[in-house]
Structure 1
């Protein structure tokens, strides 16, 4: 059995995923890192060279391979589970954990990670995040076995909540 952690950018998928994997003695795999290693270039370069379609093809192949393994905590990209093939591959052998956060928190976290767009005001940056969240949330919730709100919680608190859920479900 695997654990697939998914949700919008900035919700803590990779950080929390590492903690969950360590606590459960499982391997951790970041899907985006796997794609970067396979392609030999970072994600912006993949989008520039191959476009979104090329990136999604790489993502689909990486998802299929990793999801077929066992005993892995997988940090998915923000759009991974929006693809039916990816979702099907993950659901076959994974507990599906959705991480959520409010748009303002997401913006703070993304900017803290170095993604800055100085010409946009906070309101101008929050609005597209909120719009995408509204658009994606029904699909995210449909895919989830468990949803965990991360706003106002430490990574360790979120990881503990996931671990408790997984242990109860065994």
Structure 2
């Protein structure tokens, strides 16, 4: 069974205690690991999930405790919807096979990804004021804005080391 690892921040870990696994011996699959954190819009819990390899973002909105039993399908549907919105055409069944089962793990202290997520959350805070309530926020569009922000992947400082998350996710899924 394929698994996709999602390392949670301490805040998110408190909300999903029952889902946290301590068995970290599994391979994290084709997509690599993800990092998840929680933020609030209108006192509703939203999750920002960021892929460690590509810095590709997926936002899950208004997640309640009752949603945790279906969190795998909620994530897969949101991820697929975001890929389609971002112009990455893929088959849902293929994506479902690549992701497999979600495995939530305690924080891995990945400071680079956590810093990246905090920066993206500041962008989202800015847009919260622009749109007001969660119902008025075009989540796929805002996530697309996050995913088209320039990112640095690589060791050097050449212009070719800069890309965006959509291009990187497209390359990863094409492999």
Q: TM-score, normalised by structure 2?
A: 0.28
More strand by share: 2
Structure with larger RCO (C-alpha < 8 A, sep 6+)? 1
Q: TM-score, normalised by structure 1?
A: 0.28
